[in-house]
Amino acid sequence: MNRQHEILKLLEDDCRCSPAEIAAMLGEEEAAVSEAVQNMEKENLILGYKAMVDWDRTGEEIVTALIEVKVTPQRGDGFEHIAERIYQFDEVESLYLMSGAYDFTVIITGRTLKEVANFVSVRLSTIDGVIGTSTHFILKKYKEKHTVFEAKPVQEERMTFC
């Protein structure tokens, strides 16, 4: 694994790691790590720093949906123009081009089921080129980006012999 990959992996696992902490873990100079991180930010390898929040524990009502979208690619532009239209919406958290029966997977959040349904029916499905959608509501998150929500302590199995 190269140095850049190691730094990126450490920041992806915990974006609060300081250059000094990363340098200590990798046996490098803090100034060199700091410069490397700044360069990766300039090159858009590091696009931002985010906290992962368990919204279920906050008591706020938030609805998350995964929407599969089938489109007709546009001549000369393929999927790009439609993707740009979709990711401009504030509700859209993530957008992926997929293989399989649907072309895009869109992850959105809203305050209510009705708000999400309204987004799909009024804003998303009316985009030129969108020919079908399938909406799935996320009922509970167990794990996201390698982080387990409500991790249970691991119990040792005990065997009893009679």
State pLDDT tens for residues 21-75.
Answer: 999 999 999 999 999 999 999 999 999 998 888 888 888 889 999 999 999 988 8
Beta-strand relationship, 63-71 and 104-110: antiparallel
Q: For domain 3-42, which CATH number applies: 1.20.1250, 3.10.450, 3.40.1000, 1.10.10?
A: 1.10.10
Q: What is the pLDDT of residue 156?
A: 65
In the block, residue with structure tokens 């991180």: 37
Query: For domain 55-141, is the CATH number 3.40.50.700?
Result: no
Give tens-digit pLDDT for 89-117.
999 999 999 999 999 999 999 999 999 99
Whether the per-residue pLDDT at 148 is higher than 90: the answer is no
Token duo for residue 95: 């957008």
Give tens-digit pLDDT for 7-35.
999 998 889 999 999 999 999 999 999 99
Q: What is the pLDDT of residue 1?
A: 67
Query: Can you list the alpha helix ranges (DSSP code H) found in 14-67?
Result: 19-26, 30-42
Q: What is the pLDDT of residue 71?
A: 97
CA dist 25 and 6 (Å) reads: 10
Token duo for residue 52: 């992962």
Q: What is the mean pLDDT of the chain?
A: 91
CA dist 30 and 36 (Å) reads: 10
Whether the per-residue pLDDT at 157 is higher than 80: the answer is no
Delimit the CATH 3.30.70.920 region(s) of the chain.
Answer: 55-141
